[in-house]
């Protein structure tokens, strides 16, 4: 359906990307406009702002789980990357609190 994001990349191994610093930084450079993008990185970059602002209303179930996994992982293990992403996509902090509160509810401690 046109009202959903493509599910073409729903089977991508997110853990592999998140746990590989080189891969993770490559994706971050892509979405932040600082580096080249793979096709799946470009797809993420093209929709990340809208997804953040709408609470991912066009996402598939796999994308929703992937977003939660990614956000939780970044907050817990890559706080500097999380801060850079939120500064870029959410400079006013409108949405960051919602995602950080959800992570805290899961027991993830967010250092100040």
| 81/96: higher pLDDT | 81
CATH 1.10.2080.10 fits 14-106, yes or no: yes
Query: pLDDT value at position 28?
Result: 94
Q: How many Cβ atoms from other residues are within 10 Å of residue 107's Cβ?
A: 7
Q: Does the structure show a pLDDT above 60 at 1? A: no
From CA 2, how far away is CA 94, in angstroms rounded? 27
pLDDT digit string (tens) for 40-89? 899 889 888 888 777 777 888 888 888 889 989 999 999 999 999 989 98
Residues 30-65 as b or e (16 or more Cβ within 10 Å = b): bbbeeeebeeebeebeebbeebbeeebebbeeebee
**Domain regions of the chain by residue span:** 14-106
From CA 66, how far away is CA 48, in angstroms rounded? 13
Q: What is the pTM of this model?
A: 0.83
From CA 98, how far away is CA 30, in angstroms rounded? 24
């Amino acid at each position: 359906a046109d009202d959903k994001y493509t599910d073409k990349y729903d089977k991508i191994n997110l853990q592999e990307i998140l746990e590989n610093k080189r891969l993770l930084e490559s994706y971050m450079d892509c979405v932040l406009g600082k580096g080249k993008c793979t096709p799946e990185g470009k797809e993420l970059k093209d929709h990340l702002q809208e997804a953040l602002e709408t609470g991912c209303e066009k996402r598939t179930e796999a994308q929703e789980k992937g977003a939660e996994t990614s956000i939780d992982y970044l907050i817990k293990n890559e706080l500097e990357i999380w801060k850079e992403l939120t500064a870029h996509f959410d400079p006013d902090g409108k949405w960051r609190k919602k995602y950080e509160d959800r992570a805290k509810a899961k027991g993830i401690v967010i250092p100040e």
